C-alpha cells in the first residue's frame, strides 16, 4: 500500500471531474489563427521550434522545444534558453516592436527539475466578430462593429510541456468563440436579454414567442451584468479547452497538464482568471491588491473531501476522505484521534475504525501537500491520464478546470506609469513575497523615465533574476543565502497607466 501511494509527481494540475457532454466549438480545434487587430505591437505567431528542417514528430516532442514566438529566439538562442547550467534570462528583443501596452516579459529555465522549460506564455490582441444580432436577423458585414480584447496568458506545465503549449496556442481562441454571442450585447447599455434567438433555420426559429425579454418570465428576476457575461465566457472557454485536451490527448499525445493564469482586458475592465498555483497582484501607488489565489490541496481541502464523501467509489477503497494530523497506525485502532471532515475548519476527536487506516485523500503541508499522494495543485487544464502512483485509480475527478475570475475596473482609478499588474508562475512566488515584488517594482521603475517603455521589461527581468538567485557551490542562492527558485520562472509586467490608450 505504501508503494502505491508514495508521492510520484511534485507539481501536477488539471481540471474537473467528468463534466456532462458539451457541444463542440464550431471553429475549434481546426479554427484559423485568432483574428488579431492591427496595432503597432507584434502579435504572437505559431510556436517556435528548435530546428527548421526537423522531421515530423509528435506534438509533445515539438512542444518540448517550443518557446513563445514573441521572444524571437534563433536556433542558437533556443539552445541557450534550454541550458540548465547557465539559466540565462530570456526577454523579447528591444527592436522597437513591443508587446501590447509595452508589456514586460522575462523567463528562465529550471535548474534541472525537468528536461525543458515547461512554462509557456502568450500575448495577443484578438478581434471578435459577432455571430448573430440580438434581434435574430443575419448580421450584415456593415452592421455594427466587433470587439477587440487584449490577452495575456501564463501556463505552468508539468509532466511534459504538451498541455501548456496547447493551451498557449488555443485558449484565447476559445475565449473569442465564447464572446461571439456577446458582441452586440456588450455594446448595448441595456440589460442583457434572458434568451438569445434561435439560429435561423433551426426548429422554432420562426416563432417570435421564444424571444424573451428580461422581465417577461417572472415578476422578480436576478440581475445579470455585462461583466458577469464576460466572466462566464472565460469560465466556459477554460472548460472547452480542457475538453479539447481530453479529445486529443491520444492522437496528439498531449500528456501532462498545466496551471493557467490568464488576463483579459475588455471594455475598460481587466479580468484575471486563475486555475492553479500561479498568481497575480496589482501594485498601485505602493499598495498591493491580490488578483488571484492559489488552488492547492490545502486551500481546496473541503471541496475535495466533499467529493470523496459523496462519491466514495472515486477513492477506490484505497483512500479515506477524512484528514488526520498524521498517518494512523494499526495499533491505534479503537483509540480516539484528532480528525476533520468536509464540513469542518477546526479539529475534533473520533474513534479510529478500520477504514481510517486508508491513506488520506489530502495529505502533507505547504508545498508538500498532495491529492491522493500525487499532485500538488487542484485546478488547471489537462492531466486526463493522471493516475495514482502504481495504480489505475484516476485523479482527474478531483481536479477542476474552472478558474476563479477577479475583475478590476481600470476606469475607476487614475493610474500612473508605475502602477502595474504582475503575473508570475509559482517559480516566482515560491521564494518571493508580495511585498518583495512591490519593493522591486518601486526600485526598478524609479530608475527609468516614465515614458521609457523598456522599464517594464527591465522590471520583469529583475523579478526573475531575484527569484532565480546566483549560482554557488550548493546551488542557486538568494542574497540571504537561502535557496533560490529551481523551478521554471515566467513573469509578465502589465502597465496599468503607462504608454498607449487602453480604450
Give the C-alpha separation, 308 to 306, whole Å.
5
Q: Report pLDDT digits (tens) over 402-446.
A: 999 999 999 999 999 999 999 999 999 999 999 999 999 999 999
Residue 19 binned pLDDT confidence (cut-offs 50, 70, 90): very low
Residue 61 binned pLDDT confidence (cut-offs 50, 70, 90): very low
Please give the backbone phi and psi of residue 281, each rounded to the nearest 5 degrees, phi first.
-135, 150
Nearest C-alpha neighbor of 172 from the set 208, 148, 143, 144 = 148
Q: Report pLDDT digits (tens) over 141-187.
A: 445 589 999 999 999 999 888 999 999 999 999 999 999 999 999 99
The number of angstroms, rounded, from the C-alpha of 34 to the middle of its chain's C-alpha atoms is: 19
The confidence score (pLDDT) of residue 295 equals 96
The number of angstroms, rounded, from the C-alpha of 89 to the middle of its chain's C-alpha atoms is: 22
Give the C-alpha separation, 87 to 107, whole Å.
9
Nearest C-alpha neighbor of 41 from the set 154, 161, 123 = 123
Give the C-alpha separation, 107 to 120, whole Å.
9
Tell me, letter by letter, the H, E, C secondary structure of 50-93.
CCCCCCCCCHHHHHHCCCCHHHCCCHHHHHHHCCCCCCCCECCC
Give the C-alpha separation, 319 to 300, whole Å.
17
Please give the backbone phi and psi of residue 85, each rounded to the nearest 5 degrees, phi first.
-75, -45
DSSP letter assigned to residue 314: G
Q: Which three cell numbers stand for residue 311?
A: 462519491
Q: How many CB atoms lie within 10 A of CB 101?
A: 25
Question: Which DSSP helix (H) or strand (E) runs through 227?
Answer: helix 226-248
Give the C-alpha separation, 421 to 189, whole Å.
28
Contact 492, 107 (CB under 8 A): no
Whether 302 shows a pLDDT value over 50: the answer reads yes
Whether 77 shows a pLDDT value over 80: the answer reads yes
The confidence score (pLDDT) of residue 125 equals 95
395 prior amide bond cis, ω within 30 = no
Whether 15 shows a pLDDT value over 50: the answer reads no
Of the chain, the percentage scoring pLDDT greater than 70 comes to 78
Whether 211 shows a pLDDT value over 70: the answer reads no
Nearest C-alpha neighbor of 124 from the set 78, 183, 69, 65 = 69
Give the C-alpha separation, 359 to 261, whole Å.
31
Instruction: Characterize the bridge pairing of strands 348-351 and 336-339.
Output: antiparallel
The confidence score (pLDDT) of residue 3 equals 45
Contact 467, 427 (CB under 8 A): yes
- pLDDT, average across residues 28-54: 40
Give the C-alpha separation, 202 to 260, whole Å.
36
The residue ranking higher by pLDDT, 219 or 56, is 219
Q: Which three cell numbers stand for residue 221?
A: 428576476
Q: Cell 485502532 identifies what position?
A: 333
DSSP labels, 336-395: EEEEB-TT-SS-EEEE--GGGGSEESEE--GGG-EETTTBS-SB-EE-TT-B-TTS--B-
Residue 135 binned pLDDT confidence (cut-offs 50, 70, 90): low
Domains in the chain, ordered, with CATH? 69-130+146-188+226-295+401-495 (3.60.40.10), 300-376 (no CATH)
Whether 104 shows a pLDDT value over 70: the answer reads yes
Amino acid at each position: 500500500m505504501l508503494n502505491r501511494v508514495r508521492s510520484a509527481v511534485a507539481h501536477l494540475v488539471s481540471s474537473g471531474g467528468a463534466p456532462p457532454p458539451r457541444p463542440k466549438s464550431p471553429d475549434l480545434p481546426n479554427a484559423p489563427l485568432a483574428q488579431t487587430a492591427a496595432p503597432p505591437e507584434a502579435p504572437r505567431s505559431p510556436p517556435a521550434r528548435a530546428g527548421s528542417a526537423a522531421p515530423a514528430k509528435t506534438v509533445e516532442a515539438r512542444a518540448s522545444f517550443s518557446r513563445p514566438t514573441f521572444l524571437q529566439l534563433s536556433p542558437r538562442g533556443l539552445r541557450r534558453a534550454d541550458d540548465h547550467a547557465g539559466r540565462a534570462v530570456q526577454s523579447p528583443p528591444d527592436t522597437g516592436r513591443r508587446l501590447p501596452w509595452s508589456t514586460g516579459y522575462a523567463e528562465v529555465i529550471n535548474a534541472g527539475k525537468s528536461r525543458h522549460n515547461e512554462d509557456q506564455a502568450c500575448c495577443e490582441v484578438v478581434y471578435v466578430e459577432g455571430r448573430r444580432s440580438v434581434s435574430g436577423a443575419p448580421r450584415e458585414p456593415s452592421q455594427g462593429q466587433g470587439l477587440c480584447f487584449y490577452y495575456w496568458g501564463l501556463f505552468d506545465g508539468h509532466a511534459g510541456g504538451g498541455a501548456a503549449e496547447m493551451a498557449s496556442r488555443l485558449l484565447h481562441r476559445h475565449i473569442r468563440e465564447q464572446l461571439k454571442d456577446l458582441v452586440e450585447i456588450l455594446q448595448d447599455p441595456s440589460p442583457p436579454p434572458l434568451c438569445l434567438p434561435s439560429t435561423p433555420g433551426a426548429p422554432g426559429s420562426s416563432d417570435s414567442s421564444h424571444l424573451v425579454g428580461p422581465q417577461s418570465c417572472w415578476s422578480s428576476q436576478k440581475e445579470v451584468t455585462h461583466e458577469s457575461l464576460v466572466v462566464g465566457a472565460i469560465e466556459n472557454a477554460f472548460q472547452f479547452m480542457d475538453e479539447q485536451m481530453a479529445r486529443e490527448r491520444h492522437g496528439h499525445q498531449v500528456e501532462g497538464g498545466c496551471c493557467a493564469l490568464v488576463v483579459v482586458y475588455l471594455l475598460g475592465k481587466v479580468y484575471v482568471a486563475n486555475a492553479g498555483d500561479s498568481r497575480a497582484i496589482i501594485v498601485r501607488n505602493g499598495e498591493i491588491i491580490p488578483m488571484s489565489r492559489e488552488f492547492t490541496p490545502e486551500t481546496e481541502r473541503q471541496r475535495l473531501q466533499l467529493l470523496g464523501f459523496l462519491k466514495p467509489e472515486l477513492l477506490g477503497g484505497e483512500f479515506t476522505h477524512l484528514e488526520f494530523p498524521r498517518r494512523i497506525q494499526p495499533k491505534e485502532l479503537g483509540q480516539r484521534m484528532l480528525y476533520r471532515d468536509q464540513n469542518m475548519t477546526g479539529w475534533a476527536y473520533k474513534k479510529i475504525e478500520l477504514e481510517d487506516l486508508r491513506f488520506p485523500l489530502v495529505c502533507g503541508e505547504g508545498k508538500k501537500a498532495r491529492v491522493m499522494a500525487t499532485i500538488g495543485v487542484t485546478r488547471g487544464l489537462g492531466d486526463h491520464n493522471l493516475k495514482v502512483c502504481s495504480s489505475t485509480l484516476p485523479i482527474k475527478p478531483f481536479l477542476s478546470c474552472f478558474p476563479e475570475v477577479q475583475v478590476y475596473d481600470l476606469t475607476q482609478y487614475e493610474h500612473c506609469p508605475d502602477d502595474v499588474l504582475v503575473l508570475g508562475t509559482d517559480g516566482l512566488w515560491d521564494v518571493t513575497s508580495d511585498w518583495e515584488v512591490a519593493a522591486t517594482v518601486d526600485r526598478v521603475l524609479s530608475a527609468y523615465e516614465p515614458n521609457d517603455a523598456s522599464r517594464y521589461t527591465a522590471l520583469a527581468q529583475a523579478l526573475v533574476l531575484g527569484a532565480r538567485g546566483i549560482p554557488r557551490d550548493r546551488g542557486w542562492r538568494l542574497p540571504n543565502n537561502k535557496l533560490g527558485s529551481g523551478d521554471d520562472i515566467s513573469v509578465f509586467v502589465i502597465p496599468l497607466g503607462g504608454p498607449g490608450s487602453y480604450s
